[in-house]
Structure 1
Amino acid sequence: MAFVAWRPLGWLIFFGVCGSVFEVAAADNNAGSGRAYVSNEDGQSVSVLDLASNTSIATVEVGKRPRGLKLSPDGSRLFVAVSGLPKCPPSVPDEVCAKRERDLKADGIAIVDTVEHKLIKVLAAGSDPEQFAMSADGKRLYVANEDVGLMSVVDVDVGKVLAKVKVGLEPEGVGVSPDGRWVLVTNESDNSVSVIDTKTLEVKQHVTVGKRPRDMAFSPDGSVAYVSGELDASLYRMAVPAGEPVQRVLQLREAAKPMAVVLDDARKRLYLSTGRGGTVAVVDTKQAPKTYRLIKEIEVGARPWGIALTVDGRFLYTANGPSNDVTVVDTTALSVVKRIPVGKTPWGVVIGPAPPR
C-alpha cells in the first residue's frame, strides 16, 4: 500500500511504488496466444499486452487507483481492485492527508470482460481494497482492506461480502495455499503474517516476519511460504499453517526494497522485485532449506513492483511505476529483452491465456 490519506499510528516511512500483485497465472508464451494485464494506478486503467508480439493491444478504463488484479481460471474475466482513497506521500503532514477527499463509492473489485475489453461491473469488497487472492474455482475473493485492518471475503456469483476477518495493521499481500485450505495476509505495520482458515474464516495465528512484509509465494505443496520484507531487505521462510519454524533465509543489500515474490519451482528459483532498488533479485533455492543464494540482480527500471512469470518460466514481466512501462526479462540469459510502454504508473501485472472466443 502506501501514499494514502489514512495512516495508522506507527507509520514511519514508505518506500516503493504506490500500487501489486504480483501474481503468477498460467500462460503459454510459446503458443503466442497469452495475455498480460497491467494495472495503471494513476491512469485509472488496465493495459492489455499480447505476449506473442510484446505489444499493448488495448486499454480498459476500470476506475480509481487500480492495483491488485487476478484472472478467472479460463481467462475470460479480469478482476481489478479499485479504491477511492487518495494518494498521500509521506512528505505530506497527517493533518493535510486527513482533509483530502475520499470517494467511498469508488472502492471495490472491478470485473472486466477480456474478450470485449469492457468493464462489466464493480463488486463491493470493503474499503480501500489493494491486493486480493482468488479461490481455485474463481468463486471467492479474499481482499485486503488496508485502511481498516480487515480481510473481506467476497462471493463473486452473489456479488457481496460474506464475511470480514480482523487481521493485522495495514494488510497488503494476500495469497491462498495451493490446496485452498489457508489464506495468508501480510500486515505491513506490525511486521506479521495472518494465517486464516478458509473453512472457518478464523485467524489461526499471527506470525512475525521481516519489517514491512509485502508479498508471499507458496511452495507447490503449500507447506512453506516465502515472505518479502521491504524495510529490512529480507526474505523470510515460514511453515504453513504452523508458522514455526520461521527464519530469515536471505539478506539483500540495504538499498533493495523487496516487494513481489514469485517462485519458479521447476528451475528452483525465487524472483523478488526490489522497488526503489530498481531490480529483480534472482535467488537460487536448489539447496533449500539449508541455503538460499542470490544469483543476480537484474536492472529492470524505476521502482519495479508487480511481477509475473510465464507458465514455461522463460520470461518474467515487471511493472515499473515511475517509468510507465513493463520490462520483459529472459530468465535463461537473465537479461532484459524489451520494455513496453503502458499507462500511467503501472502497479501490478498478471499473465494468463488469451480469452476464449
Structure 2
Amino acid sequence: MTRPRTLARAVATSLMFALPVGTALAKDTGYIFVSSENDNAVTVLDGKRHQVLKTIPTGERPRDMKRSADRSQILVIASNSERVDVIDIARLEVVRSIDVGEDPEMFDFSKDGSRIYVSNEEDAEVSVIDVAANKVLAKIEVGEEPEGMLVSKDGSRLYVTSEVANMVHVIDTASNAILANVVVGNRPRRFADTPDGGEVWVTNELGASVTVLDAKANAVKETVTFAPKGFRSDDVTPVGITMTRDGKTAYVTLGRANHVAVVDVATRKVRDYVLVGNRAWGATLNRDESMLVVVNGLSDDISLVDTKTNKVLRSVAVGRVPHTAVIDD
C-alpha cells in the first residue's frame, strides 16, 4: 500500500536523527528486500538480475517490513527479539532497533510518521510506539492473536484483525478508543484499502475469502470467495493482499493453494488465478505496477509475476521461510 509522501519529513526526522553524521541516502535502488523467519536475516536482491547482493542479520524471526516514507530505510519486525530493526538502505545494515513489546508481528505508521502501531500477538494488544523516543505511548487491548494493521488514508482510524475472535477492531487514533468491532470471516489476517479509503478489504485465512468492509459504516458490504481449480476449500488460505493505486485490481495470495487471485475490485469477480510457489504468503507491487512479487513461505523463494499477462517471469531463491518483501523503487 502506498503511503502519502507528506510523511517524508516526519519520518526522516524521527528515524534519521540516530544515524552517524555523513550517512549517505539511497533511494530507488530497485533492491528487493525479503525477510526470512528461519534465517534471522533479510535477503537483498538486485532489482534487475535478481541476484543476492547481501544477507543482512537481524533480530530473531524477522517478519513484517515497511519502507520509511523518505525511502531511505527499511523497518522490519523481529518477533522473537521483541523489536523493530531499522535497516539503512545505503549501508545495507541495521543501524538501530526499537523496542515494541512481546511477540510483535505486523505494524503500520501513523499518518505523521511519528508513531508505529504494532500487533502483539500473545498479549492481545496493540502497542503505540513513539519512534524517535523509542518509547511505548499506549497499549490497546484487542481480541486474541491480533495481526493485520492498517492506518486509514486520513490517519484517523486504525484497523486491527483478531485471528481468534474473527473480528476487525476499528480504533480511533486520537483517543486509542475502539469505535467498532466488526465480525468478518474465519481467521482474518491482513488488509488493503481502496484509494478513497471507502472500503477496507480483509483476508480470511480459514474462510477462503476476503471480506469487504464499508469504512464509513464499519459494516460488512460483501464477501469475495476463492475456488481455484483442483483445490479443496480447506486448502485455500488467503493471507496477503495488495491493491493497485487506482483501486481497480486486488491481488490476494491463497496460501496452501499455491496461487494468487487477481480480483476486479468493482465487480468483486476473480479475473484469474496465477500458479506460484508453495504457501503463497505476502505480495507487493513494484512502483509502476508491472510486476507483482509473491513470497512463498514453504518453497523458500519469491515469484515474479508479470501483471499484464499474469504469468510468472521467474522464481528466485531467498532465505528459509520468507515472510514479507519490500521493493525499493
**Shorter-chain TM-score tier:** 0.7 to 0.9
Find out whether 1:278 has 2:258 as its counterpart: yes
Equivalent pair of 1:302/1:320 in contact (CA under 8 Å): yes
TM-superposition CA deviations, 1:243-270 (whole Å, max 9, x none): 1243313344512110011111437111
Distance in 1, matches of 2:46 and 2:111, equals: 24
Q: Higher relative contact order by CA 8 Å / sep ≥ 6: 1 or 2? A: 1
* More moved, 330-339 vs 70-79: 70-79
Find out whether 1:258 has 2:232 as its counterpart: no
TM-superposition CA deviations, 1:266-292 (whole Å, max 9, x none): 37111001111111111112xx2xx31
The aligned counterpart of 2:249 is 269
Segments ≥4 residues shifted beyond 6 Å:
none
Aligned CA RMSD, in angstroms, stands at 1.8
Q: Match of 2:82, as an amino acid?
A: D
Find out whether 1:335 has 2:315 as its counterpart: no
Match for residue 96 of structure 2 among 114, 121, 128: 121
- Residue 352 of structure 1 and its aligned partner are, at CA, apart by 2.8
Find out whether 1:64 has 2:60 as its counterpart: yes
The aligned counterpart of 2:39 is 43
Equivalent pair of 2:195/2:247 in contact (CA under 8 Å): no
Distance in 1, matches of 2:193 and 2:125, equals: 22
Q: Match of 2:295, as an amino acid?
A: A
Q: Match of 2:78, as an amino acid?
A: V
Distance in 1, matches of 2:257 and 2:246, equals: 27
Query: TM-score, normalized by length of structure 2?
Result: 0.87
Q: Match of 1:190, as an amino acid?
A: A
Alignment length, in residue pairs?
302
* More moved, 186-195 vs 114-123: 114-123
- Residue 223 of structure 1 and its aligned partner are, at CA, apart by 1.7
Equivalent pair of 1:304/1:319 in contact (CA under 8 Å): yes
Match for residue 142 of structure 1 among 111, 117, 133: 117
Find out whether 1:180 has 2:155 as its counterpart: yes
Distance in 2, matches of 1:299 and 1:331, equals: 13
Unpaired runs of at least 5, structure 1: 1-22, 85-105
- Residue 309 of structure 1 and its aligned partner are, at CA, apart by 0.6
- Residue 306 of structure 1 and its aligned partner are, at CA, apart by 1.1
Q: Match of 1:50, as an amino acid?
A: D
Equivalent pair of 2:32/2:325 in contact (CA under 8 Å): yes
Query: TM-score, normalized by length of structure 1?
Result: 0.81
Distance in 2, matches of 1:301 and 1:324, equals: 9
Distance in 1, matches of 2:3 and 2:260, equals: 18
Match for residue 170 of structure 1 among 123, 128, 145: 145
Unpaired runs of at least 5, structure 2: 5-26
The aligned counterpart of 2:168 is 193
Match for residue 50 of structure 2 among 33, 50, 54: 54
The aligned counterpart of 1:96 is none
Distance in 2, matches of 1:339 and 1:138, equals: 34
TM-superposition CA deviations, 1:115-173 (whole Å, max 9, x none): 11111222111110011111344321110001111000111111111110111111011
**SS of the residue 1:79 aligns to:** strand
Match for residue 271 of structure 2 among 292, 295, 298: 295
